[in-house]
Structure 1
Amino acid sequence: MDPVSEQYRPAMSWDRFWQLIDRLGVTEDGRVDCADLDDACEDLAATLAEEPVEQILGFGERLAEALFTLDRAEFGTLPVLGLTAPGGSPFPQSDDGFLYSRAAVVAAGRRTYESVLGHPERFAPFTDLHAEAVLHIHEEAYEQATGEECDHLTVHDYETCSNTAGWPELAR
């Protein structure tokens, strides 16, 4: 656990976060039609909008922490499944693609998420999946609940290479 996590406790428990994620209905292999996932994310945002604002923001915090934890070179340097670059070399993940693949791992649920940690070979099948809609669930829920745009910044930055412990070769 990083020092930020030790000092900050989101309003939402991990158990509640994963219960809500299970409502997305993504299979453990992460295979879901993008349109279905978009609709499921909209439905989850509507459900989450019924919760107190602290819980909505807590969901965003838990999501950011889960994505931050997966932000590691051992996952981000894997090639995209099924793609090759010109000349036949492996096709690297882009920064955004890696973020959306991490979101797909989270969307697949707690068991999949926990099984991937420390096992890059279990992350590899997610490199060609993009679950960007998951990133916006709490923002949409906040807007539905308050009528205002969500400008809350999460404690954990989940953009690619933000987890310096996960990318030690990039640490300055």
Structure 2
Amino acid sequence: MTDTPGPLFAVVFSLALLGFIVTVAFLSRNRSPNFTFHSARSAESPNSLDDPHRVEPGMNEEKFWELIAHAWGAGATELRHKLLIPEEAEQAADRLLEMSDFMVMSLQESLALLSQEDLASFDEILEHKLYDIDREDVHEYVDGSDDGFLYSRGFIVAAGKDVFDAVDADPSVWVVEAELEPICYISAEVYEEVYGERLVHNTGISRESGSNKAGWS
């Protein structure tokens, strides 16, 4: 007859197995890839050096355009430049619109890391850029209803400094129909979400279509 393990052996085996399971669970939890990362960042500022969305404090136009370019990623640089090449502009705009969800999300993440003052400054610069091209000569080539014209101007700003400056100087270079509504209010919405209050500027201008009275006859 084959010997069977006694009760004492069963108890010892169960305790050993339980200890092994507890040890593995403890080690797995502490080896989680996010464990050390979050602990390290908690003691640092949001703009820590290892953060890909880090921006030096102090917002200005140069940093404004850098944030927008960074949100697209390096892969979109050539596409954005092609917006100014008539025979390639439409295809480039379509491709950029396909990428726009990622761009908006990336920019939101960067904006959420800004100080309250810098985030407000970013939105003020954005409002000025939208206001500057709220003009009849721009509308002639961009077209669209009040909202559509605003969202089209949002795409032009999102396309970056080179495209914006080109359209601002000579609106006839714009040959595509493309809108990007989220950009028009992105920093104001992030501000309200992060700081719990509505962002109000006392600049006397507005991003809404038709606000730039000097630009309309």
TM-score range, shorter chain: 0.7 to 0.9
**Change beyond 3 A, Cα 1:59–1:39:** same
Structure with larger RCO (C-alpha < 8 A, sep 6+): 1
Q: CA deviation at 1:23?
A: 2.0
Highest Rg: 1 or 2?
A: 2
1:137 and 2:186 equivalent? yes
Please give the root-mean-square deviation of Cα atoms over the aligned residues, in Å. 2.1
Alignment match of 2:145 (pick from 94, 113, 133): 94
Bigger helix fraction: 2
The match for 2:113 is 50
Alignment of 1:109-148 (within 5 A): 109-125=160-176, 128-146=177-195, 148=196
**CA distance, structure 2, for counterparts of residue 152 and residue 42 of structure 1:** 23
Where 1:157 maps in the other structure, the secondary structure is coil
Query: Which 5+ residue runs of structure 2 have no aligned equivalent?
Result: 1-57, 84-91
Partner deviation per Cα, 1:14-41 (whole Å, 9 max, x = no partner): 1010001112325232624545312321
The match for 1:15 is 62
Matched AA of 2:215 = G
**Change beyond 3 A, Cα 1:136–1:42:** farther
Asked whether the 8 Å contact 1:96–1:160 carries over to 2, the reply is yes
TM-score scaled by structure 1?
0.74
Matched AA of 1:41 = V
Alignment match of 1:103 (pick from 149, 154, 159): 154
- How much identity, in percent, do the aligned residues show? 31
Query: Which 5+ residue runs of structure 1 have no aligned equivalent?
Result: 1-10, 81-91
Matched AA of 2:65 = W
Asked whether the 8 Å contact 1:77–1:93 carries over to 2, the reply is no
Bigger strand fraction: 1
The match for 1:88 is none
**CA distance, structure 2, for counterparts of residue 106 and residue 59 of structure 1:** 13
After superposing on structure 2, the runs of 4+ consecutive aligned residues of structure 1 that deviate more than 4 Å are: none
The match for 1:152 is 200
**CA distance, structure 2, for counterparts of residue 60 and residue 13 of structure 1:** 11
The match for 2:136 is 73
Q: CA deviation at 1:53?
A: 0.5
Q: CA deviation at 1:72?
A: 0.6
**CA distance, structure 2, for counterparts of residue 48 and residue 132 of structure 1:** 17
Q: CA deviation at 1:136?
A: 2.6
Matched AA of 1:152 = V
Matched AA of 2:198 = C
**Change beyond 3 A, Cα 1:35–1:110:** same
Question: Would you say how many aligned residue pairs link Structure 1 and Structure 2?
Answer: 143
1:162 and 2:215 equivalent? no
Q: Which moved more, 1:131-140 or 1:98-107?
A: 131-140
Asked whether the 8 Å contact 2:120–2:199 carries over to 1, the reply is no
**CA distance, structure 2, for counterparts of residue 138 and residue 40 of structure 1:** 14
**CA distance, structure 1, for counterparts of residue 126 and residue 202 of structure 2:** 9
